[in-house]
Chains A and B, each alone.
Chain A
Amino acid sequence: MGTAPNKTAAAAKSSQGFVYLPLIAGWLVPGAGHFVIGKWGRGALLAISIIAMFALGLAMDGKLYSGAQDILDLLGLVGDLGNGLMFLVSRAMGLGGDPIQFTTADYGTKFVVVAGLLNVIAAVDAHNLRTGRKS
């Protein structure tokens, strides 16, 4: 009974503005989705974790997927695209190793892909907070 006014308030709040803004902002820039809705602490931790993971992946000479020659490349590209602007800017700057020559470069490639997948999870979380599905 005590939650009814809260749900009404959350529903009213969720109907204001563009509800997909945190989702899109969170995808483009890690943590930005949480910043948009005022969750500064969570956003900062998410941003640090995802950006650090992406940067470490590049520092290990990880590969940035640029095309989809086969199904595994396609899956890697989808994961990389989850990084949003970081991936697009890094590709435009020509960062990332080409062929994988060291074991650590393979780790780096996985770091970059997983950073993208974690960023998608974080952006969806920001969307859920915005719509009132999560508190």
Chain B
Amino acid sequence: MLRPSHYTAVLLFAVFASTVFGITQRDTPRRMVRYGLYCFVLFAGSAIVLSWVMFLIAR
């Protein structure tokens, strides 16, 4: 059974979801890549920011 860490799971999720979002939500290959990268950064970045927020709240 595969047991990735929470952050590894977030990164895997972000890679696949961003790929599908990029291809389906934009028309040209260049814009697909840019939008896919944008979605990936938002997924991964928001996970880091929310983790720090929860850490600071829990202290």
Contact = CB atoms under 8 A, between A and B. Distances in A.
Interface residues of B, number: 17
Given A53-B17, A125-B23, 6 more contacts: A49-B16, A53-B12, A60-B2, A60-B3, A111-B12, A118-B16
Interface in A51-75: 52-53, 56, 59-61
Nearest to B1: A61
Contacts of A121: 20-21, 24
5 contacts: A46-B20, A61-B2, A107-B6, A108-B2, A134-B27
Contacts of B17: 53, 114, 118
B19 A49 contact: yes
A134 B24 CA distance: 10
A102 B3 contact: yes
A111 B4 contact: no
- Report, as a range, how many residues of chain A touch the other chain: 20 to 34
B20 A59 contact: no
A102 B17 CA distance: 23
Contact of A60 (B4, B15, B19, B21): B4
A50 B16 contact: yes
Contact of A122 (B12, B15, B24, B27): B24
Contact of B2 (A56, A103, A110, A125): A56
A104 B24 contact: no
B27 A114 contact: no
Contacts of B6: 103, 107
A19 interface: no
Contact of A49 (B9, B20, B27): B20
In this complex, the member of B12, B16, B17, B19 whose beta carbon has the largest number of chain A beta carbons within 10 angstroms is: B16
A107 B4 contact: yes
B13 interface: yes
A60 B1 contact: yes
